[in-house]
Structures are given as structure tokens and as C-alpha cells.
Chain A
Amino acid sequence: MSAITVSKVAKQFRLGETHDSLGDLLAGLTRRLRNRIVGRTADEPARSGPSKFWAVRDLDFTVAKGEAVGIIGPNGAGKSTVLKLLAGIIRPDRGTVSVNGRLAALIEVGAGFHGDLTGRENIFLNGAILGMSRAEIRSKLDAIVEFAGIGRFLDMPVKRYSSGMYARLGFSIAAHVDPDVLLVDEVLSVGDAVFRLRCLDRMRQLVDSGTTLVFVTHDLDQMQAICSRAIVLEHGSATFSGDAGDAVGQYLSAMSREYAHGAPDLMEDQDREGGDVRVVGLSFFDESGEEVVWTRSRRAIRAELQIRLSRSIPRLVVELNMRASLTDNLLSINSGRDGRTFDVTSGDHMVTLSLPSLPVCGGQYVWNVRVWDSDSGRAEVDTPFRYPLVIDDEGCKTGKLSLPHEWSLTTQASVKSAAVSGVGGSIRAAAQLTISS
């Protein structure tokens, strides 16, 4: 029997506000009354028109008992809506959603915490909200506190907790509900790295012990670490459902299509806070000289940086950084470190950076630009990470680097003969990994 069955589900949301004052209500009522009396005139649209949109359309999927399924997709694809539909927080306009067994939804950590109450009090309150009985909470209290690592802060009001502690406590409570079906929405982005790993471990543990998991996330690595199967959502419908690795590939190529359409807007948005230098744009070109926002891994790529100066700078240093995550640069190339400065006059200039290969795994990467006047040491420009470049690499979906490599197998003759003659010993196979850069 499947734990979750979603069939032909559609959910519509209103754009803008529903009538929020009594004036609108009265207007609505008189219109309804008039319609009832005179009948709807043919030219009057059914009071929805363009002000509604389908957040989820024609969604069909099932999740087997004990299965871990990831839901991935770009922002606004309807991931959270699906989770809320599963949780029963909202109802579908069409179709049916059925969930078998006790359900716990972790849509926001610490939803329902009250700042004035202590950690302990909030554990009981939140536990009850998540459907645990008092006795159950009492028996799990120690485990919850230990997992959250809030020990001596247990009797302090949570309004004085750090945001990390707050999130840890929230996750810890939900992780101890022992539900049949656990829904988790993008909550592991909080807390420090160690805690994130523990959360992942805990989720894996729950899955191993038979809990059905639906995990919505942007972190493809996290998703693949837990889920065997994934569903890709785009514009409210599932465009792919199957092996988690394949889903990631599907998602990334969907992202590159999306970027191909949406990127110019992003780039035109200019950084006006810079000093005497303004970044007009950062564009990428592939081997054939065509401007791209997505390319395949390990291809030559050229970055063209257009800058506008309002004064001459004889020794200008340019730095380009690339990231896949929020915090760490994967690549940082600084002309100054390469012993190269640019003598530029006021006006428009283009700085070109050529890379013979960009050996990174498939994913979305973002770039930023920093420019210094090397004489004054003053940073003229430090843009946000807003220039996207999507790399498509079917063969490399997890990990960071995609390097050319070879495999080979060497079997030692003596060992082989011993094994064949049945005397004993072990077969030792040595795999050689050759990396050429």
C-alpha cells in the first residue's frame, strides 16, 4: 500500500488580495445577488480571469511506504504548495490527496514556538502541535534536548535563544515525532554545518526505520544523500519522476533553459554603489564565440567584463569569483595576483578572461566582480553574486570537480593462478585512476 497518493491534483491561488474589507464584500454580495436575479450576462467573465493562477496542475504521484522522495524544482514551481497539500494545510481544488498513517510536517522549524515560553515549555507545546501526547513528549524530552544541544538553556525563554539554537530545537522536536510520513521543507538551510549533518543523519535513520519521507529542498546534494527517488516540479507540474540522480540532471537542464530566458534581466540590473568604476555587464562566450548562460563542463569559456570608468586608473586590478553555494568561492581569479594590472582611461572598457576549461560538475554557478584601484588600494566595485552560469554535466552530478580521468584494471598473474587452482589467497584488483589535467 502506498503511503501517499496524489491523483490529478490542481490548486489555484488568487493573485493579489481577496476582498479584505467589508466594502469589497458588499460589492461582491450585490454582484452575486444581481447575477442570481438577472443571470450572468454572456460577456461577463466568471469572476476569475487573469487574477488567478494554478500553483499546481495535473499532479500525479505516489510514494510507497518507507520510500524517501525528494521534490526539486526552481523557485515558484509549487514545491511548498505540494507539501502543504500533503500536510492538509490547504485543500486541492481538484483531485485527491491521501496520506496513510501519522503525518508530521516540518514546514518551518519552530512554527508555533512562543518567545515568552522556555525551551522546555515550547517542547511540550510544539510536540502537542505536531501531534505528540504529553506522556510521549516526556519520555522523549531528554533525547530532544540532547539532539538540539540546548542543555543548560532549557529553562530560558526561547526569545533569548540564538537563531541556531531556535532552529535546532525546532528540528529536534519534529525529528522525534516518529511519524509514519515525514514532510520536510527546506529547513536544513539553518544551523551550522555540524547540525545540518546530524539532521541528515537523523532523517536517514528515520527512513531506514521505515518512515516515509518527502523532502523539498534546493540542495541537490542533501536530497541525493537521502532520497532514492525525486520528482522535478516546473510551473506546478511534475516534469520528471524517477531516480534521484537522473532527476538532478533533468532539473539542471531545466534550470539552464530557464536562465537562458531570464538571464538578460538579471544582468541589466546595475550596481550603482560602486566608486568610479561601474560594471556594465559580465557575459560568457563558448568556444564558438557565442554568448551563453549555460555550457557543458570542461569546455573553454571566455568571460567578458564590461566596465565604465569616470576617471583614469593607471593600475586597475580585476577579480572574478565563482560560487555554487552561498558562502564559498569555488574559483577566484585575481589579475593582481597574476601580476597583471590594467592601465585604463575614463570611458568604456572590456576586460576579457579566457579559461581553457571549466572543470566543474553540473550545477548553477554565480559570479561576482571586484575591481580595485591598486594605487589607492580602494575597492571600486564589489558586485553581489548575480551573474549566473549554468554548467550541464550528465556524468557528474554530485561533487564539485569534473576532471578528465581514466580507469584501468590490473590483475596480478600469480594471485590469479592461485585463486584458479583453488589453493587459497585473495584476488587483489588494483584500480588505477589516471588524472591528466
Chain B
Amino acid sequence: MANTLEILRYRQLLTSLTWRDLRVRYKQSILGIGWAILLPLSMMLIFTFVFTRAIDARSVMKIDMPYALYAYLGLVPWTFFSVSLGNCVNALVANRNLLTKVYFPREVFPLACIASSLVDFMIAMTVLVGLMAYFHVSGEWTFVAHSSLWFVPVIVAVQIMLTLGLGMMLAMANLFYRDVRQIYGVAIHLGMFVSAVVVPVPTDGSLLARVIALNPLVWIIGAYRDCVIHGHLPSAGSFLYATALAMVMLVGGWICFHRASYRFAECV
């Protein structure tokens, strides 16, 4: 408990490291922070092209909103998840210099990775307003300001808990076994297609569908669409499952990370 409070004393450091990550990511680039918008936007355009022009899969996918909106609402949270997790995996190894030379709670590293991606996430989310306005004006789809929007911060919080828990575990694992980074690189590609990011996951009750339903990201990403587009809260059972799992991940990850953190400087 005392150690959890310790991190509060170092919140200034968290701000500084977050800011460093952001600053370094967009330094010496012409578009700078604009990339936070351009990356998911271009991904959205690519997937829209692939699934609606190159091969018309709209009928197969049964998506009840413009595909571009569907993809963007999947890609933005997914980018938030995958980028922060990817940075977490490397966080300890990349900061070897700090790890072996300065003391502060090591939790700051994964926290900073997530915090800087959160900034990107929020910037990218603002574009959604423009996107919705476009489809509203073009008459393809009608915008309704749903009251369920208030729930979005809750979803973000659950996603952060899940990412942080996983991130701490992966950061730690990668410090001891560098294989983790490679495995992560492969797994994250698979993850994109079993998390309802750009294509819906199967819901036909098959074994595959039941296994995929265990993935909490399916429910988290689905929850964004429910609240923003469909105008209702996500189904309680599945969202509570995702929340519980995220909490378990966070608590378990944090405890493991904290316990191992005293060995980091020796093993990195």
C-alpha cells in the first residue's frame, strides 16, 4: 500500500516521461501531433477501401453503420491498446539507462507509455465528430446525440486497466526473456482480427466464436460502438466480464511487477 502511494509522489515524473514520449515521437516531423489523427484515419481509409471497394464484404459483415465509422471506432481504441502495449513491452529495456542509474518506482514506465498513447487516443477521438458530421450531412446515416455517451469514459478506464495490467506483465517478461517482444509482434496482428476491430467476430455459437468471446477487447471495442453509435449501454454481462478481467489483470500484473521490480536493474 505504501508503495502504491509512492507512485503518487512521483506523479510529476510520470507527467515528464509522458511528455517526453510524446515530444520525442513527434519531434522532427512536419505533421507532428497530426500523426495521432492521420495514422488511424489512413488505416480506416485502407480498410474501407479493402472491404467496400476491392472486395465488397459489407453484406457478409452485416454492419449497421457506415463501414468507415465502424472501422474508425474500432481502429482508434485498438491503436490505443496496441501502441501502448507495444511501448510497454519495450519500456524497461529501452530505459535501461534510467533503470540502472536512478531510483524511482518502476511502475512509472508502463504508466507513461499508456498516458502518452491516451493523449493520441483523445486527439484521434475528436476526429470522430467530423466523421459523423460528414455521414450525417451526406445523408448516409443520421447522427443522434445519445445520452449513453457518458459511459465512454468508463470504457476508456476499463481499457486502461486491462492495458496497464497486460503492459506491466509484458514489460517485465520482456526484460527477463527478450523473446516476448517477438511473440508480441506476431500476436498483436492476430489480435486485431479477433477483437472486432475492422471485421466483426463470429457470433454463431461455434467453438471458435466461444473462444473469441473470451477476449475482453471484443466487448470493450464493441462497447464504444454501442455507446457512440447505437445509443445504448453495452450488455451488462459481457461488459462486466471484461471489467472483472481487466481488474484481475491490473492487480495481478501490478503485484508481479512490483515484486520483481527490485531485480530489474540487475537483469536488464
* Chain A residues within CB distance 8 Å of chain B: 13-14, 18-22, 25, 84, 87-91, 103, 105, 107-108, 111-112, 114, 116-117, 121, 124-125, 128-134
Contact = CB atoms under 8 A, between A and B. Distances in A.
12 contacts: A18-B176, A21-B179, A89-B100, A89-B102, A90-B265, A105-B102, A107-B101, A108-B101, A111-B102, A112-B102, A116-B28, A130-B102
A105 B97 CA distance: 14
Contacts of B265: 84, 89-90
Nearest to A24: B177
B24 A117 contact: yes
Output the residue of A13, A21, A103 with the most chain B CB within 10 A.
Answer: A21
Q: Which of A91, A114, A128, A134 has the most CB of B within 10 A?
A: A128
Nearest to B267: A18
Tell me what chain A mostly uses at the interface: helix, strand, loop, or mixed. Answer: loop
Nearest to B183: A22
A108 B97 CA distance: 9
Contact of B104 (A20, A108, A131): A131
Contacts of A124: 16
A112 B104 CA distance: 12
A114 B20 contact: yes
A91 to B, nearest CB: 4
Majority secondary structure, B binding face? helix
Count class of interface residues, chain B: 20 to 34
Contacts of B97: 108, 111-112
B238 interface: no
Nearest to A90: B265
Given A116-B28, A128-B13, A111 B176 contact: no
A95 B139 CA distance: 73
B116 to A, nearest CB: 13
A105 B103 CA distance: 8
Contact of B177 (A20, A84, A111, A116): A20
A133 B12 CA distance: 6
Contact of B98 (A22, A103, A111): A111
A105 B101 CA distance: 8
A89 B103 contact: yes
Nearest to B21: A114
B178 A129 contact: no
A376 B266 CA distance: 55
A103 B102 CA distance: 11
B215 interface: no
Nearest to A84: B265
Nearest to B10: A131
B23 interface: yes
B178 A20 contact: yes
Contacts of B28: 116
Interface string B229-268: 0000000000000000000000000000000001001110
Contacts of A125: 16-17, 19-20
Contacts of A18: 176, 267
Nearest to B16: A128
Nearest to A135: B12
Contacts of A91: 262
Interface string B167-211: 000000000111100000000000000000000000000000000
B98 A112 contact: yes
A393 to B, nearest CB: 37
B15 interface: yes
Nearest to A23: B179
Contact of B178 (A21, A84, A88, A103): A21
Contacts of B17: 125, 128
A22 B181 CA distance: 12
Contact of A90 (B24, B176, B178, B266): B266
B136 interface: no
B121 to A, nearest CB: 23
The 6 closest A-B pairs by CB, nearest first: A111-B101, A128-B16, A88-B103, A91-B262, A128-B13, A107-B101
Given A89-B103, A114-B24, A128 B12 contact: yes
A91 B17 CA distance: 24
B13 A129 contact: yes
A377 to B, nearest CB: 48
A197 to B, nearest CB: 25
A25 B267 CA distance: 14
B214 to A, nearest CB: 24
Interface in B9-57: 10, 12-13, 15-17, 19-20, 23-24, 27-28
A114 B19 CA distance: 12
A29 to B, nearest CB: 12
Contacts of B13: 128-129, 131
Contacts of B102: 87, 89, 105, 107, 111-112, 129-130
A215 B247 CA distance: 45
Contacts of B98: 111-112, 129
B20 A117 contact: yes
A278 to B, nearest CB: 42
Nearest to A18: B267
Nearest to B28: A116
Nearest to A103: B103
**Residue of B23, B100, B104, B266 with most partner-chain A CB within 10 A:** B266
B104 A21 contact: no
Contacts of A21: 177-179
A105 B265 CA distance: 15
A159 to B, nearest CB: 11
Given A20-B177, A121-B20, 8 more contacts: A13-B266, A22-B177, A89-B265, A90-B262, A112-B101, A114-B20, A129-B102, A134-B12
